[in-house]
Chain A
Amino acid sequence: MKASKKPDTAFLFDIKRYSINDGPGVRVTVFFKGCPLSCKWCHNPESQAFKVEKLYNKSKCIGCQSCVAKCPSNALSFSPKDGVVTDFSKCASCGACVIICPTKAIEMSGRNYTYEEIMKTIEKESGIIDSSGGGVTFSGGEPLMYPEVLKELLQQCGNDGIHRAVDTSGYVKPSVIEDIIPYTDLFLYDLKHMDSEIHKQWTGVTNEFILSNLKLVADHDKAYHIRIPLVKGVNADDTNLTATADFLNSLKRKPEVIGLLPYHAIAAKKYEKLGKVYNEDGMSEPTKEELEHMISLFKSKGLHAQIGG
């Protein structure tokens, strides 16, 4: 049995340097792959599955068909209209097409990174992290789905004196949150909806864990930012936002920042690359006036909200 062995790698889909929207200062953002939620508006659809996924970018494809010829499983076909089409029932995810593709139109999303590799990337950014008051942000996907790996990385960063943020949906067992609180300097905590049923309808899961875990963070007097993806038709209404504000006001410690992240259909291209259909039904972008209204709604409850994280 391998189960007892401690993991020595992290399953990520990206590490982004010079990240300026994920916490204070300039940061390195480490994106874990795999998420228990499946929000319909998700901007990183490749972050959802806990496995390696193939991405195909048709606009990069020059139609050379080297991949079609190379595929050992005969899973690929080509037509000028659709480009390279993968028959996933045959595809063995061997990656031969990725290697042969001259334009990187085919890529694999998700691989195991060693701790050393991750720490080295963070170290390269340390100059600007220090001068900007930045740090590292563990995001995803859901980083808390990998508690052992995350804890190890948080500890290593802590040893190097690097500020640590964890960007989470909060949908994990309370013990997981409790376990990493001592090694985390800041939580970036997402709140999607206060009504559990509606939450489930749009994200696939209920919100009880999420709310109780946030209470846990606040009870531990740990610094946190609230991030609310504002989707018109889903959660950008007075009822939900009033409930959100009341909930935040009931907590022992108030959030440092409440960031409103207006929905945008910008990720449609990513769904296409994954071979998924992006269903925008019922979702739209709040107008500028609506955003202003929401900010004043929070203000009337004594909370300062802003656009952007």
Chain B
Amino acid sequence: MFEDLKTKNQVPERQAFHEGNFYTSCTDRPGMNERIKSLREESINTPASISIERALIETQFYKENYGKYSLPVLRALNFMEICRKKEIYIGENELIVGERGAKPKAIYTFPELNCHSEEDLQVLNTREQQRYTISEEDIAVYKKEVIPYWKGRTQRDRIFDRVPEEWKLAYEAGLFTEFMEQRAPGHTCLDGKIYKKGMLDFKKEIAYEISNLDFLNDPEATDKEEELKAMAISCDALILLAERHAEKAEELMKSEKNPQRVKELKKIAEVCRNVPAHAPQNFWEAIQMYWFVHLGVITELNGWDAFNPGHFDQHLIPFYTQDIQNKSLTKEQAKELLSCFWIKVNNHPAPPKVGITASESGTYNDFTNINIGGVKPDGTDAVNELSYMMLEIVEELHILQPGSSVHISSVTPNKFLHAAIKVIRQGHGYPSVFNPDVYIQEMLRSGKSLTDAREGGCSGCIEVGAFGKEAYLLTGYLNVPKILEITLFNGVDPVTGKKIGIETGKATDFKNYEDLYHAFHAQLTYVIDLKIRLNNYIDRMYAKYAPATFLSVITDDCIKKGRDYYNGGPRYNTTYIQCTGLGTVTDSLSSLKKHVFEEKTVSMKEMVDAIFQNFEGKEVLRQRIVNNTPFFGNDDDYADSIAVKVYNDLFDLIDNRPNGKTGGKYHMNMLSTTCHNYFGNVMGAMPNGRLAGKSISDGTSPSHGCDIHGPSAVIRSLGKLDQIKSGGTLLNLRFLPSLLKRDEDVAKLGSLIRSYFGQGGHHVQFNIVDTATLKEARNNPEEYKDLLVRMAGYSDYFNDMNENLKQEVIERTENESF
């Protein structure tokens, strides 16, 4: 009874430092030893920069060779050229080697997709948040050598030259975003094949498929041969890249004075001569193998979500067990190598976008999401010693990348779940928590085999995929609340006055709630069709102009089919549309239903006028709505049934539609990353009382601050959605650190997670922070440089977020009962 039921905790009970989400990198240097400490410190303190190396090599190559080869071969030779000419970097203390650019955090541009203008580069160099440095000299070279050649030749030019007027209107108004205009479609993850086969083995498979081509009967035989030849070239390119690292290590040995380092360099050279040409033989080689493959994927193209080793603990455990048994590796060395890998990933922020003044742009994180735990392909518990070691590393290093997630199936031991919660409660934002029992069913529903589904998992934010066998392309976010907004204005965007939807009747003419919903459904149908029509065009442009010939080597069944990753080569070909703002749209519909149609306390005219005027002079009405409407997230069937209806209708409108690839289908995804902020910015007020410009709800979470019955009511509401129909849902819950102090609190949070997963939940993540700390961080950014905040599917540094995002993190519901 000493628990206070209504008062929010204003004062942090522990010093922020003790929460673990703060540290000053120079005084408190996390890491298991001096090597890891210094590598980590370097990774954090090095500013991100633009490296124009790739653009220069590529532009020169295109100038000389475009038209001489088929496009797949041209792309593969271009990749080879970069691997041949790029500068090789081996850092002072490194064990795992390889940087995309010439040094840590030097990020390439990809002018064949979208070419940064001089102004873009200037802004990148000078903006306060997520700055990428570049010298004036490099900008001048870029302006002279790179920009002129790509004018009219980029993927982005191809897309925007072709867009229909109505698409453009809808896009500019913020009804949806378009992923593929900035970065190549990516979103994939690797399975275990590269630990069993080297590039030379893949080349043998390629040669076999070429020898079997049927030039007499197969009309595609020539295209397949070109694609396969290109894949073989890509294998050679990666081997070349590794050999150049071996040579660099040997060169460094000559001038190295420290005998210990000489030994290490010798080992690095030996490792790089074996992988990726051959399958790895030990733990060190296995990690280095993956890292070269990762580098290959992110150098070839700038695919969304970079790349991802998938179930890394499962892939590495045979090497670990073998090396420990034959005493060639100690536990400490294994952890050191893994830590080196972790830092490598952190050295690679996302390639910056073009047109960066646009408010929708700007994430720094490249979404590599290591899957820890979960199930094996036979369905049994996959947690092993390395799973715990990886949790330790996540906790120790607390760096932005790679992201990590724990996979908690009904067969996962509580010991592992509780170990993960103890990391979560440190407040670094990681790991997020996934439910294999549900996502395996999601994959089975969308046509995967049981084994492929179990080898799959979640990448990026929350999206599900069959690792190593599926292209699952995210194509953009859908602003579902804005579609309701234009429904209330007969297809016109009240923010700009432009007509961006179809005419579905004046709101004041709707006789009942069903009329309103019917109109909303018609607008949804129109917008989704608009989006899909252009998606399919962009998809073909990638297949034609930007085949990913290296990624195709390592994705089943591209070699067997002789088809590219972008051209239906993978075993499964999925296209996702990510729907946002379920909370906002549900609450708005609930408000209209209750106040306008049922209780008739507000007329439709009054409501529409009020939102048009952003509730100015209507605060009493707004307060009545905010405080007296059933909202999503409170285990209230009135609101939850609306959410279920909208969710099911989105599903019916998107799921199973053809995406232009043989057997390929559209599926629905429910995430927003940070886009709920941009979408909120382009919207006026809504009938749920949300004011103009304010963020809409994230993922499938309740609207911010509207869940007032605690986390167990939230999960019950979310549990009403049939999440197996989706390709992922996202739930953010925020907890104060003081609520997870005792070990029994950890167990109770574990029960909350298990209970949600028992109800069919796909994912949940926790922000363990307190308001006072966040306000302090906002006021003193310098002192809180390292504060990681996890929200809406990713982690970012608090001070790299804009004011709206910061405000949102502060406002998000604190679960008072804790």
With a cutoff of 8 Å between Cβ atoms, the chain B residues found around residue A190 in the complex are 1
A102 and B742: CB pair below 8 A?
no
A102 and B817: CB pair below 8 A?
no
With a cutoff of 8 Å between Cβ atoms, the chain A residues found around residue B748 in the complex are 20, 25-26, 132
A124 and B716: CB pair below 8 A?
yes
Q: How far is the CA of A174 from the CA of B636 in the complex (A)?
A: 41
Task: Fill in one digit per residue for A165-194: 1 if any B CB lies within 8 Å of its CB, else 0.
Answer: 001000000000000000000000010000
B3 and A43: CB pair below 8 A?
yes
Contact of B1 among A128, A167, A264, A269 (CB under 8 A): A167
Q: How far is the CA of A21 from the CA of B624 in the complex (A)?
A: 33
With a cutoff of 8 Å between Cβ atoms, the chain B residues found around residue A270 in the complex are 6-7
Task: Judge whether A80 is part of the interface by a CB distance below 8 angstroms.
Answer: no
Which of B712, B747, B752 gathers most chain A CB within 10 Å? B712
Q: How far is the CA of A125 from the CA of B620 in the complex (A)?
A: 35
Q: How far is the CA of A112 from the CA of B751 in the complex (A)?
A: 31
Q: Whose C-beta in chain B lies nearest to the C-beta of A19? A: B817
Q: How far is the CA of A128 from the CA of B755 in the complex (A)?
A: 5
A309 and B747: CB pair below 8 A?
no
A267 and B4: CB pair below 8 A?
yes
Task: Judge whether B385 is part of the interface by a CB distance below 8 angstroms.
Answer: no
Task: Fill in one digit per residue for A274-309: 1 if any B CB lies within 8 Å of its CB, else 0.
Answer: 000000000000000000000000000000000011
With a cutoff of 8 Å between Cβ atoms, the chain B residues found around residue A26 in the complex are 712, 748, 751-752
B623 and A128: CB pair below 8 A?
no
Measured CB to CB, the closest approach of chain A to B736, in angstroms, equals 13
Task: Judge whether B215 is part of the interface by a CB distance below 8 angstroms.
Answer: no
Task: Judge whether B710 is part of the interface by a CB distance below 8 angstroms.
Answer: yes
Task: Fill in one digit per residue for A193-218: 1 if any B CB lies within 8 Å of its CB, else 0.
Answer: 00000000000000000000000000
Q: Whose C-beta in chain A lies nearest to the C-beta of B619? A: A62
A103 and B627: CB pair below 8 A?
yes
With a cutoff of 8 Å between Cβ atoms, the chain B residues found around residue A264 in the complex are 2, 4
With a cutoff of 8 Å between Cβ atoms, the chain A residues found around residue B755 in the complex are 127-128, 131-132
Contact of B4 among A18, A43, A134 (CB under 8 A): A43
A20 and B709: CB pair below 8 A?
no
Q: How far is the CA of A308 from the CA of B740 in the complex (A)?
A: 13
A62 and B712: CB pair below 8 A?
no
Q: How far is the CA of A66 from the CA of B747 in the complex (A)?
A: 47
A261 and B709: CB pair below 8 A?
no
Q: How far is the CA of A64 from the CA of B623 in the complex (A)?
A: 11
Q: How far is the CA of A104 from the CA of B628 in the complex (A)?
A: 8
Considering only residues 598-628 of chain B, those with a C-beta below 8 Å from chain A are 619-621, 623-624, 626-628
With a cutoff of 8 Å between Cβ atoms, the chain B residues found around residue A152 in the complex are none
Measured CB to CB, the closest approach of chain A to B767, in angstroms, equals 17
Q: A18-B712, A62-B619, A139-B1 are in contact. Are A102 and B7 (CB under 8 A)?
A: no
Considering only residues 44-67 of chain A, those with a C-beta below 8 Å from chain B are 44, 62, 64, 66
| Size class of the A contact interface (CB-based, 8 Å) | 35 or more
Task: Fill in one digit per residue for A134-148: 1 if any B CB lies within 8 Å of its CB, else 0.
Answer: 100001100000000
With a cutoff of 8 Å between Cβ atoms, the chain A residues found around residue B620 in the complex are 62, 64, 66, 102
Considering only residues 66-95 of chain A, those with a C-beta below 8 Å from chain B are 66
Task: Judge whether A3 is part of the interface by a CB distance below 8 angstroms.
Answer: no
Measured CB to CB, the closest approach of chain B to A89, in angstroms, equals 28
Task: Judge whether B329 is part of the interface by a CB distance below 8 angstroms.
Answer: no
Task: Judge whether B713 is part of the interface by a CB distance below 8 angstroms.
Answer: yes
Task: Judge whether B773 is part of the interface by a CB distance below 8 angstroms.
Answer: no
Q: A16-B817, A20-B817 are in contact. Are A261 and B2 (CB under 8 A)?
A: yes
Contact of B2 among A18, A131, A229 (CB under 8 A): A229
Q: Whose C-beta in chain B lies nearest to the C-beta of A47? A: B1
Task: Judge whether A17 is part of the interface by a CB distance below 8 angstroms.
Answer: yes
Measured CB to CB, the closest approach of chain B to A161, in angstroms, equals 17
With a cutoff of 8 Å between Cβ atoms, the chain B residues found around residue A132 in the complex are 747-748, 751-752, 755
Measured CB to CB, the closest approach of chain A to B568, in angstroms, equals 43
A128 and B712: CB pair below 8 A?
yes
B623 and A20: CB pair below 8 A?
no
Q: Whose C-beta in chain B lies nearest to the C-beta of A24? A: B744
Task: Judge whether B274 is part of the interface by a CB distance below 8 angstroms.
Answer: no
A131 and B623: CB pair below 8 A?
no
With a cutoff of 8 Å between Cβ atoms, the chain A residues found around residue B817 in the complex are 16-20
B1 and A17: CB pair below 8 A?
no
Task: Judge whether B758 is part of the interface by a CB distance below 8 angstroms.
Answer: yes
| Size class of the B contact interface (CB-based, 8 Å) | 35 or more
With a cutoff of 8 Å between Cβ atoms, the chain B residues found around residue A262 in the complex are 2
Task: Judge whether B770 is part of the interface by a CB distance below 8 angstroms.
Answer: no
With a cutoff of 8 Å between Cβ atoms, the chain A residues found around residue B1 in the complex are 22, 43-44, 139-140, 167, 190, 227
Considering only residues 1-48 of chain A, those with a C-beta below 8 Å from chain B are 14, 16-22, 25-26, 43-44
A43 and B2: CB pair below 8 A?
yes
Which of B3, B745, B755 gathers most chain A CB within 10 Å? B3
Which of A18, A264, A309 gathers most chain B CB within 10 Å? A18
Measured CB to CB, the closest approach of chain B to A79, in angstroms, equals 19
Q: A16-B817, A102-B620, A229-B2 are in contact. Are A131 and B754 (CB under 8 A)?
A: yes
Task: Judge whether B759 is part of the interface by a CB distance below 8 angstroms.
Answer: yes
B710 and A17: CB pair below 8 A?
yes
Task: Judge whether B635 is part of the interface by a CB distance below 8 angstroms.
Answer: yes
Q: How far is the CA of A128 from the CA of B749 in the complex (A)?
A: 10
Q: How far is the CA of A104 from the CA of B621 in the complex (A)?
A: 13
B712 and A17: CB pair below 8 A?
yes
Task: Judge whether B216 is part of the interface by a CB distance below 8 angstroms.
Answer: no
Q: How far is the CA of A266 from the CA of B729 in the complex (A)?
A: 37
Q: How far is the CA of A285 from the CA of B192 in the complex (A)?
A: 58
Task: Fill in one digit per residue for A110-134: 1 if any B CB lies within 8 Å of its CB, else 0.
Answer: 0000000000000011011001101
Task: Judge whether B5 is part of the interface by a CB distance below 8 angstroms.
Answer: yes
Measured CB to CB, the closest approach of chain B to A16, in angstroms, equals 6
With a cutoff of 8 Å between Cβ atoms, the chain B residues found around residue A269 in the complex are 6-7
With a cutoff of 8 Å between Cβ atoms, the chain A residues found around residue B3 in the complex are 19, 21-22, 43
With a cutoff of 8 Å between Cβ atoms, the chain A residues found around residue B628 in the complex are 102, 104
With a cutoff of 8 Å between Cβ atoms, the chain A residues found around residue B635 in the complex are 124
Q: How far is the CA of A17 from the CA of B815 in the complex (A)?
A: 11
B4 and A128: CB pair below 8 A?
no
B742 and A308: CB pair below 8 A?
yes
Q: Whose C-beta in chain A lies nearest to the C-beta of B755? A: A128
Measured CB to CB, the closest approach of chain A to B420, in angstroms, equals 16
B745 and A20: CB pair below 8 A?
yes
Q: Whose C-beta in chain B lies nearest to the C-beta of A27? A: B748
Q: How far is the CA of A18 from the CA of B753 in the complex (A)?
A: 12
Measured CB to CB, the closest approach of chain A to B83, in angstroms, equals 52
With a cutoff of 8 Å between Cβ atoms, the chain B residues found around residue A66 in the complex are 620
Task: Judge whether B61 is part of the interface by a CB distance below 8 angstroms.
Answer: no
Measured CB to CB, the closest approach of chain A to B411, in angstroms, equals 15
With a cutoff of 8 Å between Cβ atoms, the chain A residues found around residue B815 in the complex are 18
Q: How far is the CA of A227 from the CA of B3 in the complex (A)?
A: 12
Contact of A102 among B627, B745, B751 (CB under 8 A): B627
Q: Whose C-beta in chain A lies nearest to the C-beta of B713? A: A17
Q: How far is the CA of A103 from the CA of B716 in the complex (A)?
A: 26
Q: How far is the CA of A227 from the CA of B649 in the complex (A)?
A: 52
Q: How far is the CA of A44 from the CA of B759 in the complex (A)?
A: 34
Q: How far is the CA of A308 from the CA of B747 in the complex (A)?
A: 16
Q: Whose C-beta in chain A lies nearest to the C-beta of B622? A: A102
Task: Judge whether B171 is part of the interface by a CB distance below 8 angstroms.
Answer: no
Q: Whose C-beta in chain A lies nearest to the C-beta of B749? A: A20
Measured CB to CB, the closest approach of chain A to B615, in angstroms, equals 12
With a cutoff of 8 Å between Cβ atoms, the chain A residues found around residue B6 in the complex are 269-270
Task: Judge whether B711 is part of the interface by a CB distance below 8 angstroms.
Answer: yes
A-B contact pairs, 23 of them (CB 8 A): A16-B710, A17-B709, A18-B710, A19-B817, A20-B748, A20-B817, A20-B818, A22-B3, A26-B751, A43-B1, A64-B620, A64-B623, A102-B620, A102-B628, A128-B755, A131-B751, A132-B755, A167-B1, A227-B2, A229-B2, A262-B2, A267-B4, A267-B7
Which 6 pairs, one residue from A and one from B, show the smallest C-beta to C-beta distance? A132-B751, A102-B623, A128-B755, A261-B2, A18-B710, A102-B624
Given A16-B5, A128-B752, A131-B758; 16 other pairs, CB 8 A cutoff: A17-B709, A17-B712, A18-B710, A18-B713, A20-B818, A21-B3, A64-B623, A102-B627, A103-B623, A103-B627, A124-B635, A127-B755, A127-B759, A128-B755, A266-B4, A308-B742
